[in-house]
Structure 1
Amino acid sequence: MMKLFWGDLHNHCGITYGFGALTNALEAAKGQLDFCAIIGHAMWPDMPERTEDTAFLVDFHNEGFAKLQADWEAIRSKVQEANIPHEFVTFQGYEIHSSEFGDHHVVSPSDELPLVYAASPQQLAEELAPYQVIAVPHHIGYTPGYRGTNWGAFRSDISPIVEVFSKHGCGMSDGSAYPYYHTMGPRDSRNTVFEGLNQGKKFSFAGSTDHHAGYPGSYGDGRVAVWAEEKTRESIWEAIKAGRTYAVTGDKIECQFTLNGACMGSEVEAASDRHLVLDAICADYIDKITVYKNTKPWKVVTGDSIMMETIPSKGSMSRYKIRVEMGWGESKHGYSWEAKASVENGKLLAADSCFRGQSVLAPEPGMSENLDINKLDNRLVEQTGQSLRWTCTTFQNPSTLHPATAAVILEVEGDEASRVVVEANGIKMEFSLAELLTGSRSMHVQPYSSEAILIHRAVPEAAYQVHLEWNDTEKDKDTDVYHAEIRQANHQFAWISPIFVKS
Structure 2
Amino acid sequence: MSLNTYSAETGLLTDEIYSPPVRNQPDKFVYWGDTHVHTNLSGDAFSLGNESLSTEDAFRFASGEEVTSSSGQRVKLQRPLDFLAVSDHAEYLGVFALAKAESPALKQWSIGKRLIDVISNGNNNELLQEFAKVTLGGKPESRMPDELLSSIWEQVAKTSDAFNQPGKFTAFSAYEWTAMVTGDNLHRVVLFKDSAETVTGKLPLSALASPDPESLWSYLEAYEKSTGGEVLAIPHNGNLSNGRMFSPIRLNGTEIDAEYARKRARWEPVVEVTQMKGDSETHPYLSPDDPFANFERWWDKTNVGFTRPKEPWMLKYEYARSALREGLRHQNGVGSNPFKFGMIGSTDSHTSLSTTGEDNYFGKYAEGEPGPGRAEMITGGHYGNVWWLGASGLAAVWAEQNSRESLFESIKRREVYATTGTRITLRFFGGWYFEDDDISRSNYAQIGYEKGVPMGGDLVAPDPGQELQSPRFLVMALKDPDGANLDRVQIVKGWSKGGETYEKIYDVALSDERIIDPLTQEAPVVGSTVDLKRARYTNSIGAVQLMAVWEDPEFNAEDSAFYYVRVLEIPTPRWTAYDSVFYNQPKKAGVPMVIQERAYSSPIWYKPPE
Shared fold (TM-score, shorter chain, > 0.5):
yes
Give the direction of change, closer, same or farther, for the CA distance of 1:441–1:179 in structure 2 (3 Å limit). closer
Give the direction of change, closer, same or farther, for the CA distance of 1:197–1:476 in structure 2 (3 Å limit). farther
Give the direction of change, closer, same or farther, for the CA distance of 1:218–1:286 in structure 2 (3 Å limit). closer
Determine whether 1:99 maps to 2:99. Answer: no
Which of 200, 221, 226 aligns to 2:392? It is 221
Cα distance per residue 1:7-65 (max 9 Å; x no partner): 10111111222222212111221132101110020149xxxxxxx99656226888996
Letter in structure 1 aligned against 2:193: P
Residue 455 of structure 1 and its aligned partner are, at CA, apart by: 6.3
Contact 1:15 1:21 in 2 (8 A): yes
Instruction: Give the structure 2 partner of residue 134 of structure 1.
Output: 232
**Aligned partners of 1:13, 1:55: CA distance in 2, in Å?**
18
Instruction: Give the structure 1 partner of residue 525 of structure 2.
Output: none
Cα distance per residue 1:367-419 (max 9 Å; x no partner): xxxxxxxxxxxxxxxxxxxxxxxxxxxxxxxxxxxxxxxxxxxxxxxxxxxxx
Cα distance per residue 1:304-341 (max 9 Å; x no partner): 45579xxxxxxxxxxxxxxxxxxxxxxxxxxxxxxxxx
**Aligned partners of 1:42, 1:141: CA distance in 2, in Å?**
22
Q: Based on CA coordinates, which of the two structures has the bigger radius of gyration?
A: 2
- TM-score relative to the length of structure 1: 0.64
**Aligned partners of 1:162, 1:202: CA distance in 2, in Å?**
10
Cα distance per residue 1:121-159 (max 9 Å; x no partner): 22232222242110111112223476x454645611111
Letter in structure 1 aligned against 2:133: V
Letter in structure 2 aligned against 1:193: A
Instruction: Give the structure 1 partner of residue 56 of structure 2.
Output: 23
Which of 233, 248, 256 aligns to 2:419? It is 248
Which of 317, 327, 350 aligns to 1:212? It is 350
Residue 302 of structure 1 and its aligned partner are, at CA, apart by: 6.6
Contact 1:103 1:149 in 2 (8 A): no
Instruction: Give the structure 1 partner of residue 560 of structure 2.
Output: 479
**1:323-338 alignment, distance < 5 Å:** none
Instruction: Give the structure 1 partner of residue 487 of structure 2.
Output: 287
Residue 68 of structure 1 and its aligned partner are, at CA, apart by: 5.8
Give the direction of change, closer, same or farther, for the CA distance of 1:102–1:440 in structure 2 (3 Å limit). closer
Instruction: Give the structure 1 partner of residue 402 of structure 2.
Output: 231
Where relative contact order (Cα < 8 A, 6+ residues apart) is larger, the structure is 1
Other structure's SS at 1:115 match = coil
Give the direction of change, closer, same or farther, for the CA distance of 1:480–1:76 in structure 2 (3 Å limit). same
Determine whether 1:37 maps to 2:85. Answer: yes
Instruction: Give the structure 2 partner of residue 171 of structure 1.
Output: 280
Give the direction of change, closer, same or farther, for the CA distance of 1:263–1:203 in structure 2 (3 Å limit). same
Unmatched tracts of structure 1, length 5 or more = 45-51, 309-437, 444-451
Letter in structure 1 aligned against 2:486: I
**Aligned partners of 2:82, 2:352: CA distance in 1, in Å?**
16
Residue 497 of structure 1 and its aligned partner are, at CA, apart by: 0.8
Letter in structure 1 aligned against 2:192: S
Determine whether 1:191 maps to 2:272. Answer: no
Residue 477 of structure 1 and its aligned partner are, at CA, apart by: 4.9
Cα distance per residue 1:215-239 (max 9 Å; x no partner): 1244332111011111111111111
**Aligned partners of 1:190, 1:229: CA distance in 2, in Å?**
35
Determine whether 1:2 maps to 2:28. Answer: yes
Which of 83, 92, 108 aligns to 2:192? It is 108
Contact 2:316 2:323 in 1 (8 A): no
**1:362-401 alignment, distance < 5 Å:** none
Contact 2:344 2:395 in 1 (8 A): yes
Instruction: Give the structure 1 partner of residue 364 of structure 2.
Output: none
Which of 146, 161, 179 aligns to 2:270? It is 161
Instruction: Give the structure 2 partner of residue 367 of structure 1.
Output: none
**1:286-435 alignment, distance < 5 Å:** 286-294=486-494, 296-301=503-508, 303-304=510-511, 306=513
**Aligned partners of 1:161, 1:227: CA distance in 2, in Å?**
14
Determine whether 1:84 maps to 2:165. Answer: yes
Give the direction of change, closer, same or farther, for the CA distance of 1:14–1:54 in structure 2 (3 Å limit). closer
Contact 1:16 1:65 in 2 (8 A): no
- Of 95-104 and 486-495, more deviation after overlay is shown by 95-104
Instruction: Give the structure 2 partner of residue 464 of structure 1.
Output: 544
Which of 273, 278, 281 aligns to 2:470? It is 273
**Aligned partners of 1:241, 1:306: CA distance in 2, in Å?**
38
Other structure's SS at 1:287 match = strand
Contact 1:25 1:214 in 2 (8 A): yes
Other structure's SS at 1:165 match = strand
**Aligned partners of 1:292, 1:27: CA distance in 2, in Å?**
38
Identical columns (%): 24
- TM-score relative to the length of structure 2: 0.53
Other structure's SS at 2:606 match = strand
**Aligned partners of 1:226, 1:56: CA distance in 2, in Å?**
33
Contact 1:306 1:463 in 2 (8 A): no
Residue 195 of structure 1 and its aligned partner are, at CA, apart by: 2.4
Give the direction of change, closer, same or farther, for the CA distance of 1:116–1:463 in structure 2 (3 Å limit). closer
**Aligned partners of 1:492, 1:64: CA distance in 2, in Å?**
41
**Aligned partners of 1:492, 1:85: CA distance in 2, in Å?**
31
Which of 481, 488, 495 aligns to 2:600? It is 495
Higher normalized strand content (fraction of residues): 1
Give the direction of change, closer, same or farther, for the CA distance of 1:27–1:459 in structure 2 (3 Å limit). farther
**Aligned partners of 1:23, 1:64: CA distance in 2, in Å?**
25
Residue 74 of structure 1 and its aligned partner are, at CA, apart by: 1.1
Other structure's SS at 1:10 match = strand
Contact 1:7 1:217 in 2 (8 A): no
Instruction: Give the structure 1 partner of residue 110 of structure 2.
Output: none
Residue 296 of structure 1 and its aligned partner are, at CA, apart by: 1.9
Contact 1:290 1:485 in 2 (8 A): yes
Unmatched tracts of structure 2, length 5 or more = 1-26, 65-79, 93-125, 249-255, 285-292, 328-338, 358-390, 432-451, 462-467, 495-501, 516-527, 573-595
**Aligned partners of 2:509, 2:268: CA distance in 1, in Å?**
33
Contact 2:91 2:143 in 1 (8 A): no
**Aligned partners of 1:29, 1:500: CA distance in 2, in Å?**
34
Give the direction of change, closer, same or farther, for the CA distance of 1:229–1:212 in structure 2 (3 Å limit). same
Cα distance per residue 1:335-364 (max 9 Å; x no partner): xxxxxxxxxxxxxxxxxxxxxxxxxxxxxx
CA RMSD of aligned residues (A): 3.3
Letter in structure 2 aligned against 1:464: V
Instruction: Give the structure 1 partner of residue 584 of structure 2.
Output: none
Instruction: Give the structure 2 partner of residue 263 of structure 1.
Output: 454
